[in-house]
Amino acid sequence: MDQRLSNKVAIVTGAGSSDRGDGVGSAISITFAKHGCKVLLVDKNETYAKNTASAIRDLAGESVICNSDVTKISDAEKMVDLAISSFGRLDVLVNNVGILGVGDVTNVEEENWDNVLDTNLKSMMLTSKYAIPKMLLTGGGSIINMSSCSGLRGSGQFDSIPYSTSKGAINTLTQSMAVQHGRDNIRVNSIAPGLIYTPMVSAEMTPEQRDLRVQAAPLGTEGTPWDIALAALFLASEESRWVNGVVLPVDAGLIVTTPLSGLHYN
C-alpha cells in the first residue's frame, strides 16, 4: 500500500455514498485510506457511510463513522472530538459536504437559499472552527474546501443561484483562511470540480443535459469522483507543501472555454 499519507488522520465530510466510491467524498476517503491515512467518515446517512467504510476495510485501512449534521455547531465539535479520541490527532480536513439548490433571484425560496448556504458554506466555517486548534497541537495541517467551477464564473443556464453563490463564497473563505492560518503551517485550498458525474448530478440532469456537458468538455468526456480524489490527495500530502490559498479547477479545461469553444475549424 502506498504511504503518501502515512500516519496522517483526516476528516472527510459527506463521506458516504450509495455505492462504493461513486460520490466525491467516498472516493476521497477511499483514496486517502489507500495511501495510509486514517479517516473519520462524516455523513448524515449512516448507511452510505458504511458503504465507504466497507471499501476501506477491504483495503486493510482504518476508518470510523461519524453520523453528524455539520450545519450544527454541536455536531461539528463532536466530529472533531471523535477524530481525536479515535486516532489521537488531526492532519487533514476535507470540507466536502454540499447540496444543489434551484431558482434565480426572482423565484428562489428563502428556505432553499438558507439550506444551501448553511450546508455548503456555513458548515465549512463550523468544522474549521474546531479542527484548526487540534491541527495546531501537531504542527499544522491541510484544509481542503470543495468548491465548483460554478463558483468561478456565472452558470445561469443551470438556474441554481444558491449553489453558485455558495461556491463563490467558498473560494473567498478559502483564500482568507489561507492568509490567516498560513503562519501556523495550516494550508487552506479549494478544489473546483467541473463536469464530474456523480449521483447528485445524475439526480438533477436529463440525458440530453448530460450529453451537452460532454460536448462542452475540452477533453470530450466527463470526469469521475476519482479525478477529484487524486487532486485532494495532492493537496493533503507533503507534495503540496508550498501550495496555499489556491482554487484548483479539476474540470477538463471547462473554466477556460467560451461559448465559441465548441466550434472547431479546419
Give domain limits for the chain: 9-253
Cβ contact 26:63 at 8 Å: no
Q: Which residues are catalytic?
A: 163
Give residue 212's pLDDT: 81
* Averages of pLDDT over each 10 residues, the chain, 266 residues: 89 90 92 98 96 96 98 98 99 97 91 97 98 98 96 73 95 98 99 86 75 83 94 98 98 79 43
DSSP notation for 151-199: GTS--GGG-BHHHHHHHHHHHHHHHHHHHHHGGGTEEEEEEEE-SB--H
In sequence order, which residues have a C-beta less than 8 Å from that of residue 33 and are 6 or more positions away? 39, 56, 59, 61, 62, 63
Alpha-carbon dihedral sign for residues 217, 218, 221, 222: negative
Closest CA to 69 of 115, 133, 131, 23: 115
* Of the options 3.90.870.10, 3.90.1170.10, 3.40.50.720, 3.10.20.440, the CATH number for the domain spanning 9-253: 3.40.50.720
Which pLDDT score, from 0 to 100, does residue 265 have?
36
Residue-level pLDDT at 21: 61
- The answer to whether 36 and 30 are in contact (CB under 8 A) is no
Three-state DSSP class for residue 8:
coil
> Element (H or E) spanning 93, and its range?
strand 92-95
What is the model's pLDDT at position 213? 78
pLDDT of residue 53: 97
List residues bridging with 103 in a β-sheet. 160
225-236 helix and 24-34 helix, angle to the nearest 10 degrees: 50
Report pLDDT for 203.
Answer: 67
Identify the residue whose cell numbers are 486514517.
Answer: 38
Res 1: pLDDT: 55
Q: Which helix or strand (DSSP H or E) is residue 236 part of?
A: helix 225-236
Question: Three-class SS of residue 262?
Answer: coil
